[in-house]
Structure 1
Amino acid sequence: MSPDDGSAAPGVAATGSHDDAFVTEDQETTRSSSSSQAGAAPAPDPTRSAAGGLVVAVDGPGGSGKSTVSRQIARQLRLRYLDTGAMYRAITQVALDRRIDIEDPVAVAEVAERTVLTIGTDPDQSTIHVDGVNLDEQIRTRAVTNAVSAIAAVPAVRARLVAQQREIIAESLAAGGIVVEGRDIGSVVAPEAPVKVFLTASTEVRALRRSRQLGEKGVDDVARTLAELDRRDALDSSRTVDPLSIPEGAIVLDSSTLSVSEVVDEVMRRSEHLLAPAP
């Protein structure tokens, strides 16, 4: 992909090389409008490519452990890794920095149109840059977490980011493949991915994980985080455009009482006929 001049799809993917406590997606580290709703022609699903690579789609709500699990699968299979949630968070951070009304879809869409995202796909050091500035730390704040669902609900934002995500997937297939995590990967971004995983966990467990990630330990802190997770779950699941849902054919795992290695082992066991390490 060529550098973005503001008129092309934002960003480029940097090539990537190739724990037992769960960390939330917001520490390690969601959707696209269907192209028809965004006014664009449907983009081809990159997993239909004959490039020979493997696409693993991992979906689930915040705190389910999908970032940690996705990274570990990518390392184990020597694949690239894409955190799509970071892309929505980056747009959210830019909107907040510019004091854009996040409830104004036109203003939010303009921010996404003009923002250049550069994505690193190394599972050991995935990065995201906005207009050349690294935002890995800034996008993990509570403020971004609480605002990102509104940004991700804007059809134009979702269509633009999904187009870029599909470009990254298509490029990665030639290099062996990629593990992609988010909230609509198996249902929208790459519905033909041969391996689809949906991770979940109880809200209480997810709240504890998120609070640990934020460095909070108090009962009131966890209660606040739990309420925020409930709110985001409701927004993401009831959204009219590409809501959070279990993709057809996905391996569904509850990580509430499982370690990272146990989740990864179960994914491998149930997908051993497809999950072949790159040569």
Structure 2
Amino acid sequence: MSRDGDPDTPDLDRFAPVVARTRSIHHPIAPVAYDCVKLIFVRAGSAILLSEFGEKPVTIGDVVMLGANTLCGSEPECSITVTTLYLDHDYVVDQVFWQYAAQLADRWDAQDFAEKLYSEPAQILQLGEDQAGMLMPWLDELVALSIDGPSPERFYRLQALLFAVLDIVTPYVRTTTMRRTPRQRKSTRPGLPHHRRFAPLRSEARAAAHLLREQPTLRWTLRELAGAVHLSPSQLGRVFVEAYGATPMTYLTTLRAELLARLLRETNLPIEVAMGEVGWRSRGHAARLFRQAVGVTPTRYRQLSRDEGDV
């Protein structure tokens, strides 16, 4: 039995950004929610779906799109066979970021944007039997690639198949009309990826980044860093953001968060001592910056890393 209590749900305990499974359902399934995006392709049979859109029938050629944490159940009419794509939420947000990179600042901005763009978390997409039939060989190969767990050697093939499927499906997805320009970007917060241009980096920006990487524990100020590379603070701020998509101090915060994460994973140093090792003197300040960059507190991060090591 799966973690959500559905006996027909496949084992999804092994982490992968994309998992595909095909199954036949012969009995009603109570509404359940997943912490991922789901695309459910109806291959045979029919059912009545129970979700935020109420009770609606689905049949061959239909695709059910469910956002993360969206309840959905089904009552098969005799039986229904489906292929389900489970897409990690962060992986989907990354795709949105790169799709709209000219208009977005970072992952957090992309997440907010995606929530507004795809404001209907439960949709039935009526591709039709012929259009959906084109997808079946790709879906079968996705299932074959993911059935034995994630394979780094076939990752790009899996992505190519997924993107081919999404290229057919996404024109049917209802989105909310949004007008965005680069000027509407939110201020960049710690974390990657940041929006960057493919252009040569100025030597001063590279030199400043090198100093921060080599000596992240120093009590750097923007004025001191600018003096070290022979620019004014305002000039350094401008060329550094153009090069790395973040201010020098935000870049330093990210470096320290990465170093602290490594210490939390690989050593038994007390958390406050580890914070000092990476250049943070105030535990409260460090915990706040680490959470902004990583998404969880240092204590929770250490707990999660150790739990993963015990699996």
Band the TM-score falls in, shorter-chain normalisation: under 0.3
TM-score, length-scaled by structure 2: 0.24
Considering only CA atoms, is the larger Rg found in Structure 1 or Structure 2? 2
TM-score, length-scaled by structure 1: 0.25
Q: Which has the higher strand share?
A: 2
